Amino acid sequence: MSAELFSLFYQFADVFAFLILSAAGLAIVFGMMGVINMAHGEFIMCGAYVTVGLVNLGVPLAVAQILAAVTAGLIGVLVEFLVVRRFYKRPLDSLLATWGLSLIVTQSMLLIVGSAVRGIGTPEGSFVIGGYTFSTYRLVLFGCAVAVLAGLYIIFMKTRFGVIARATMQNAAMARALGARTGRIYAISFGIGTGLAGLCGALYAPTMTLIPTMGATFVVESFVTVVIGGANVLLGTAPAAVFLAMIRMALNASYGQIIGQIGMLVAVILIIRVLPEGLSSVLVRRGR
Amino acid sequence: MNSGRKLGMVLLGAMLGTATAISVAQAAEPPLKVGLLEDVSGDLAFMGMPKLHGSQLAVEEINKSGGILGRQIELIHLDPQGDNARYQEFGRRLLNRDKVDVLIGGITSASREALRPIVDRTTTPYFYTNQYEGGVCDASMISMGAVPEQQFSTLIPWMVEKFGKKVYVIAADYNFGQISAEWNRKIMKDLGGEVVGEEFIPLGVSQFAQTIQNIQKAKPDWLLTINVGAAQDSFFEQAAAANLNLPMGSSIKVMLGFEHKRFKPPALNNMHATANWFEEIDTPEANEFKKRWHAKFPDELYINDMGYNAYNALYMYKALVEKAKSIKLEDMRKVIATGDACIDAPEGKVCIDPKSQHTSHRMRLISVGPKHEVKVEKDYGTIQPYWLGEIGCDLTKKNDKDQYTPSHLPKKS
């Protein structure tokens, strides 16, 4: 019985980690900043490729993963400076610009590194509970997801940068009038967002096939989570991931992957119908 | 001065004359147009790239040796990027606008079924170069790949004998996965085996923790893995990380997606597969072929089965046209009807079966070891694609244009 319970928790943790890690970066870039970043998946792909490249050069996996996240973050800052900066007041145009960017990046990767890259294997081994074997690395992923949430909370709620960033996102003109360097705040926030996307790719790289279009696997889940979560990253994304993970885990376990996927999307439609502003709108109102 | 100018005029005239002569010769013998639809970008690019390369290699060789009936081949390749709507659009463009003499290509069974109605409205022959779930009885289509009576009828009895009677199936959720699973049910039933679980997975799913638990709950003796595409291939790495440790059998792994080259050992350990081609096949003919391929494409990670079949398709087309002395499908089909449509492929002699227009193949069963070393376990010799003919498909008499499965057989007339 305890094995069954642990199995349920493990499945939940697995889906939860996937949703949080794929959505965390987008929660900042789309949820807070309002940039519809269609290239989110490509930043994830970037994190995965950098990780595998570094590991093949002999860098330890954990170090490679951190460097990959940093790389994606720096590229994000550059992209913000070159492209995204021009589209803050034109969200629909940001969709087109970042979509174009994603097409260019995917095809360039295909031309530069080829259609298939050799994987690096999952570390950490496995453990046994009551007749089931589990991959330890999946629990590491869950731990990372929780750490990312905690990190975001600290950055945006407990630091001076967080206060100014939230002020900038709420009312850029007022923040600028009070002396905040809004341009820099936007660039850093975008960089944190893409860095988290890179981290997601870096963390999942050892468990997946690397192809230039691999980012697409994460994009639906990440947008769904952020849209359900609503504008408030901290109060929205985490509850949304918990909610979607419960639905998906229950349906996956009883009816298989197809029903799990359909069920999750149906739940999303229902929620948006009832709560157009997302889960965080309710939680924020309750909080007041 | 004057003589110099005269000489110049003569030279110029001679050059013009030669140019005209060459263009007249070309006008008399226009090249044969081969339309090729292969994914070299998108999710299946890693499998489609070798298909393009195989076609290019064959075209280069045939053109160097004088072409087909003295005509050179012009390859027109379009990249449908794994999108079935684009397959249809590009198929129409090649058939109607470019007026190609033959159409080759398509990766998934979904893309083939998207193309088939479009080809059927023309008189252009279509070569499908993949192994697949079998059953297409269509006079416009010539199938170069292996089918269930060549793959599942060899693999499944071997797995049952070696590992046991309980199988769990993970399959991609589209026509290939569904029909292949049906074949597995039928063969397992004939063998007195049991299918303890079947899971159909939507394309694009990359996370398998739940599937791995389900498999452990069902306690099978072995797994049939007919999951498709890069995302679903992540199953192997995740199953290895969870120490699932079950023998696996497949009709598409190793020889198509070269998972043993892409994943770090031992993710593909204990995988078994049957096919007409693996790059590891070590015969003089195969080695000679591999040498030519790698000379032209030194970066190729693996010469996969569909790339190999794509190469053969052009030689089969050449053989059919030369025997029929015509590029018309009806004349080529007269050659097929004699049962003498054969080529000497790197695997050995392969022939097109007149009733089904599918190809006979020399089938081998391989196993993958813990270091991803590949061993040929069994050589079945040449197996005919007999199933369609046995159930009543006879393209020499009538054109069904239908796809049959064990549960959808032709009506007895």
CA distance A120 to chain B (A): 6
Q: Are A42 and A102 in contact (CB under 8 A)?
A: yes
What distance in Å separates the CA atoms of residue B393 and residue B355, rounded to the nearest whole number? 6
ipTM: 0.89
Query: Is B231 near chain A, with CB under 8 Å?
Result: yes
- Cα first-last separation, chain A: 42
Asked if residue B232 lies in contact with residue B253, where contact means CB atoms within 8 angstroms, the answer is no
Decide if A258 and B234 are in contact by the 8 Å CB cutoff.
Answer: no
- The SS3 of residue A275 is coil
Residue with more model confidence, B325 or A216: B325
Which of the pair, B314 or A278, is modelled with greater confidence?
Answer: B314
pLDDT digits (tens, 9 = 90+) for B304-359: 999 999 999 999 999 999 999 999 999 999 999 999 999 999 999 999 999 999 99
Averaged pLDDT, B381-400: 96
The pLDDT of residue B16 is 53
Contact residues, chain A, for B206 at CB < 8 Å: 208-209, 214, 217
Q: What is the DSSP letter of A207?
A: G
Pick the residue of B40, B43, B81 with the most A CBs within 10 A to test the interface with A by mutation. Answer: B43
- Cα(B125)–Cα(B212) distance, rounded to whole angstroms? 44
A119/B262 Cβ within 8 A: yes
Partners of residue B230 in chain A, C-beta under 8 Å:
116, 209, 211, 213-214
3-state secondary structure chain B: CHHHHHHHHHHHHHHHHHHHHHHHHHHHCCCEEEEEECCCCCCCHHHHHHHHHHHHHHHHHHHHCCCECCECEEEEEECCCCCHHHHHHHHHHHHHHCCCCEEEECCCHHHHHHHHHHHHCCCCCEEECCCCCCCEECCCEEECCCCHHHHHHHHHHHHHHHHCCEEEEEEECCHHHHHHHHHHHHHHHHCCCEEEEEEEECCCCCCCHHHHHHHHHHCCCEEEEECCHHHHHHHHHHHHHCCCCCCEEECCCCCCCCHHHHCCCCCCCCEEEEECCCCCCCCHHHHHHHHHHHHHCCCCCCCCHHHHHHHHHHHHHHHHHHHHCCCCHHHHHHHHHCCCCEEEECCEEEEECCCCCEECEEEEEEEECCCCCEEEEEEEEEECCCHHHHHCCCCCCCCCCEECECCECCCCC
Q: What is the pLDDT of residue A2?
A: 82
Residue B46 near chain A (CB below 8 Å): yes
Say what the pLDDT of residue A118 is: 85
Q: Residue A209 — pLDDT band, cuts 50, 70, 90?
A: confident
Contacts of A174 (CB under 8 A, 6+ apart): A167
Residues of A in contact with B245 (CB under 8 A): 133
Which of B243, B259, B306 is the mutation pick for testing A, counting most A CBs within 10 A? B243
Closest-CA residue to B78 (of B57, B59, B101, B95): B95
- Mean pLDDT on A198-208: 96
Omega into B266 within 30° of 0, i.e. cis? yes
- Chain-chain contact of B205 with A261 (C-beta, under 8 angstroms): yes
**Contact across the interface for A217 and B211, Cβ inside 8 Å:** no
Reported pTM: 0.89
* Neighboring chain A residues of B233 at a CB cutoff of 8 Å: 209
Residue B223: phi, psi to the nearest 5? -115, 140
pLDDT of B261-281, one tens digit each?
999 999 999 999 999 999 999
Q: How far apart are CA B234 and CA A208, in angstroms?
A: 5
Confidence of residue B28 (pLDDT cuts 50, 70, 90): low
Report how far apart, in Å, the C-alpha atoms of B358 and of each of A261, B106, B108 are: 37, 16, 17
Two tokens at B291? 């040498």
pLDDT (tens digit, 9 = 90+) per residue, A253-262? Answer: 888 888 988 8
Check if B244 contacts A (Cβ < 8 Å).
yes
| pLDDT given for residue B408 in this prediction | 95
Q: Nearest Cβ partner of A207 from B199, B200, B238?
A: B238
Q: Which pLDDT score, from 0 to 100, does residue B1 have?
A: 43
